[in-house]
Amino acid sequence: MQLNIKGKNLEVSDSIRSYAERKLGKLDKQLSDLVKVELELAVERNPSIAASQTAEATVWLKRHTLRARESTPDMKASIDQLTDKLLRQVKEEREKRAAKRKNVDKQALLEGAADVAATDAE
């Protein structure tokens, strides 16, 4: 997994960078090394917005792009919630692909059985 972290209205400190790398490292177990992940950390400057610490991530997979955004008063909490969302999305994507493969395999098996039945009938 290739992780790119950038800040908007914020200088990304080493502690936040290492925290984000550690948390998003959970995705590394489920994604290939070729997957690109971009994390943008932002701070809203409007004082009326309570959840001013925003973490937004984009994950480029082979066929799909996953996006998640979380805002809380604390940047680490935003990263935590964002990671949970991304883990859920990656899991759903993997399950969809597995179900599609299972249906294709089942259909091929049924077609093979139909061919055998047609051959036996002759």
Q: Which region among 49-58, 67-76, 109-118 has the lowest average model confidence (pLDDT)?
A: 109-118
Domains within the chain, CATH numbers bracketed: 2-93 (3.30.160.100)
Using the predicted structure, report yes or no on whether residue 28 has a pLDDT greater than 90.
no
Residue 15, token pair as written in the block: 């502690």
Q: pLDDT value at position 45?
A: 84
Q: Are the beta carbons of 85 and 25 closer than 8 angstroms? A: no
Q: Which region among 22-26, 59-63, 88-92, 108-112 has the lowest average model confidence (pLDDT)?
A: 108-112
- Per DSSP bridges, beta strands 36-43 and 2-8 are parallel
Burial class (CB in 10 A: 0-12, 13-18, 19+), 76: middle
- Across the range 66-82, mean pLDDT stands at 94
Buried-exposed string 44-61: b where 16+ CB fall within 10 A, e elsewhere:
eeeeeeeebbbbbbbbeb
Q: Are the beta carbons of 26 and 1 closer than 8 angstroms? A: no
Using the predicted structure, report yes or no on whether residue 109 has a pLDDT greater than 70.
no
Q: pLDDT value at position 120?
A: 62
